[in-house]
Structure 1
């Protein structure tokens, strides 16, 4: 099947949508004297083809069956990372907001249950500008939600979505992504702080490029004392095929070749250094670690 915006949207709307039930604070861990948590923005409901379309079907089917994953319908969690160090309250991404999917957009309720109101947030740091990561910037009335926050995005990612030609070159399936990103970025144009690969953007938080899912996708290493964790965003976008076959191309990635190479580098690092990881779409709140297995890798959740 040729992937297009039309059959993506038809695939989504044909799937029954479950009522959103926020899970609030899903998982947490201590990073030195600071606290790192995930809070739920709900889930996405996607046709399996959104990820699986480019993969070898004869090898894919037995893997999905083994792991109990549907080839037709996926409902990945959306886990927004919240970092609190006693001085700063930092969100990594802001979820979908009210305009993307009925099953998502639960971030504000989840933050409230965790004792955080939007005015408490001092910084919003974006991994990338796909709808489920940036559309929550605005509320139902088109106003900024996190009015006291400093907004931060990687320079390459900003330049890509800001470019007027992106909507014409990104492809029909993602044209609405480009329009939605640009609209939200316009609201923070005068105040956003841009950063580059390798930069320490805040005390103990370093950015590094994990390009491929989007052209300027960023991940973040957090260090506090002797503890560390890696915020992945969508650089490793699921707990099944991305772990078992990181070299396979995924339909969810804008540059599938680059994204596969990025995953391999990430697994080498996080397994070799035994790093804690936080993935936006990983299960159990998204916090855990990766282990090498006889057949690829596996995700070990640290759900609380």
Structure 2
């Protein structure tokens, strides 16, 4: 398997005005064999308070120990693109323009590698939080990936497509529910659901990884010597999630289930050595899980 890491530069202006604005930089990683390829593409980053990372006592001290200081964190958003010569698949679609000004850059990132939205054959959602789903519509509130089959886990769709979710999810996430409901309603005729353990695309199997959301899914890709697991937000960062996986994550909707899922995935990946792709992991998101001091650490692919 061939590993590469690169920085892609793109100007957002037409060629004739290219010198007038600075270039935007997108860090990306790739895994490639003769028959299949995975790329991570930057949708930008989020800006979050430390309390959102974890409500555990001592979180600031632990983060400082791990080299992270300041009042907030800015996790990257890594969208995964999979191509096997027949299928061109996006795992999640970023935040679009309506969530945070620092995110919503996927369209620009796709431009850098010459992939147009109409070339996407499948869009696969790990879950329906804003930074993973809201980029699915264009500026006219029409599906951006018009030729794609859109796939989502049955439990995840049932949760977000239920109008009552907005009344039970809590005030802090009420806009999450409203935004997901509107987008999934727009996509209704394009959506296909699946269950845990299904092969949703040849070589791509669904793995239940609930906790971050009620129906969160990971995906195990095995195709022509290419092997990797897209974990979405089941392993939500490359610091606390690895160093203290038993700590509550402030972003998990079911904290205890999220801990159980995270511990199980980390143990499995550390044992198997399979690369993982994490939506909010550093340096493009592709790496491996290593054991360290009774817990784990993230090793980005070189």
Structure 2 length-normalised TM: 0.90
SS of equivalent to 1:42: strand
How far did residue 127 of structure 1 move?
Answer: 0.1
Aligned residue for 1:39?
41
Partner residue of 1:51?
53
Query: How does 1:220-299 map onto structure 2 within 5 Å?
Result: 220-299=219-298
What CA distance in whole angstroms lies between the structure 1 residues aligned with 2:120 and 2:226? 23
SS at match of 1:178: helix
Q: Report the Cα offset of residue 64 of structure 1.
A: 1.2
1:119 positional shift: 0.7
Match status 1:96 vs 2:98? no
Q: CA deviation at 1:141?
A: 2.0
| Structure 1 match to 2:10 | none
CA shift, 1:140, in A, is 2.0
Task: State the alpha-carbon separation in 2 of the partners of residues 32 and 246 from structure 1.
Answer: 36
Superposed displacement of residue 142, structure 1: 1.1
Aligned to 2:208: 209
Which residue is 2:12 aligned to? none
Query: Over residues 158-198 of structure 1, what are the superposed CA-to-partner deviations in whole Å (9 max), with x where a residue is unaligned?
Result: 00001111000000000000000010001111221000000
Cα distance, 1:135 vs structure 2: 0.2
RMSD in angstroms over aligned alpha carbons? 1.6
Separation of aligned partners in 2, 1:235 and 1:31 = 26
Q: How does 1:11-50 map to 2 (within 5 A)?
A: 22-24=24-26, 26-31=28-33, 33-50=35-52
How far apart in 2 are the matches of 1:256 and 1:91?
27
CA distance in 1, matches of 2:156, 2:66: 34
Distance 1:180 1:21, change over 3 A: farther
Alpha carbons of structure 1 residues 30 and 71: separation in structure 2 relative to 1, 3 Å: same
CA shift, 1:32, in A, is 5.6
* Distance in structure 2 (CA, Å) of the matches to 1:299 and 1:42: 20
How many angstroms apart in 2 are the aligned matches of 1:286 and 1:218? 17
Q: Secondary structure at the match of 1:190?
A: helix
In 2, Cα distance between equivalents of 1:105 and 1:228: 28
Matched with 2:77 is 78
| Matched ranges for 1:63-212 at <5 A | 63-70=62-69, 72-212=71-211
How far apart, in 2, do the equivalents of 1:122 and 1:262 lie? 30
Partner Cα distance (1:46, 1:21) in 2: 25
Structure 1, gaps ≥5 residues long? 1-19
C-alpha contact 2:50 2:73 (8 A) present in aligned 1: yes
For residues 68 and 265 of structure 1, the distance between their equivalents in structure 2, rounded to whole angstroms, comes to 26
Between the aligned partners of 1:49 and 1:156, the Cα distance in structure 2 is 28
2:296 aligns to what SS in structure 1? strand
Shift, 1:63, TM fit: 2.2
Query: Which blocks of at least 5 consecutive residues in structure 2 are unaligned?
Result: 1-21
- The 3 A distance-change label for structure 1 pair 43 and 35 is same
Distance in 2 between the 1:260 and 1:31 partners? 34
For residues 187 and 262 of structure 1, the distance between their equivalents in structure 2, rounded to whole angstroms, comes to 31
Aligned residues: 282
- For residues 127 and 80 of structure 1, do their structure 2 counterparts lie closer, same or farther at Cα, with a shift above 3 Å needed? same
State the alpha-carbon separation in 2 of the partners of residues 244 and 32 from structure 1.
35
Q: What is the CA-CA distance between 1:229 and the residue it aligns to?
A: 0.4
